[in-house]
Homo-oligomer: A and B are copies of this chain.
């Protein structure tokens, strides 16, 4: 005999406790408005029935889900892991849940995910970077969905955001590299199209290069997706040049770790034969050998502040702001003077 499973509802609890559904709802959401007696009576019923509120019904009736959505470009590597972790922790403290999805660095997919999350009733959104179709911003505005952008910071764009200046940060590192005597720099950049962070980082190197009076045409650049394998391949290609670079600056740590790994395959010593730099300072950066010189990003701080701003916006306790965080250069063994 097969009994189709009956999932207990508010009604069931109300019946079992001998009160109305309204009262049960109060017991669950605003205990203080209910007499201790009935409260305990109701809670007993809840327990014994194994009742769990239906999220969808609740969201629909209350017109808010206490859920916020985040869309990150990738979950494959740890680039966003620490920041997102902090984001989520802070959200939980504030009584919000997090829904994450990944756009695989595809603007169209991101737009779709945004609609999906909004359709699911997300009270607010966390997005990475600025660059996306204006239609997306329109959509968000029309629907009145509070949104915070992270991992970048461009104060004049008028969006709420918390991040850092990718361009200026990378320039800092490039300046350092040049000061250390490097004159033959090669770059492995992430794909810049549709990715303002990658574009900014590349531009930062170019800024520094030109400011030191060098010719842009003499700065080899390979653009490739953020994956270890690609970093390795690009490195191999760059090292085939007649004038080999003395340093390879990479758009992030993942690319850089691929480069280092390939250097070993090619029997090249890092930093003896060629220096390598990264960006992000993810966990990996400390554990590759030689350890990576990179730009340290305050991941956790960024995640925490993003959560606070977003909740502030949702609960209309604060206005849109753009917070620019400080980064720092972390000198490790992979970069040496010349």
Contact = CB atoms under 8 A, between A and B. Distances in A.
A31 to B, nearest CB: 19
A118 B77 CA distance: 29
Interface of A: 4-5, 7, 50, 52-57, 59-60, 65, 75-78, 81, 85, 97, 99-100, 115-116, 118-121, 139, 141-144, 228, 257-258, 261, 264, 283, 286-289
Contact of A289 (B54, B115, B261): B261
Interface of A is mostly: helix
A144 B5 contact: yes
B56 A121 contact: yes
Copies in the complex: 2
A29 to B, nearest CB: 14
Contact of A57 (B60, B77, B85, B283): B60
Contacts of A77: 78
Contacts of A118: 52
Contact of A119 (B53, B81, B85, B100): B53
A280 to B, nearest CB: 15
A120 B257 CA distance: 40
Nearest to A291: B261
A125 to B, nearest CB: 14
Nearest to A284: B284
A56 B60 contact: yes
Nearest to A139: B50
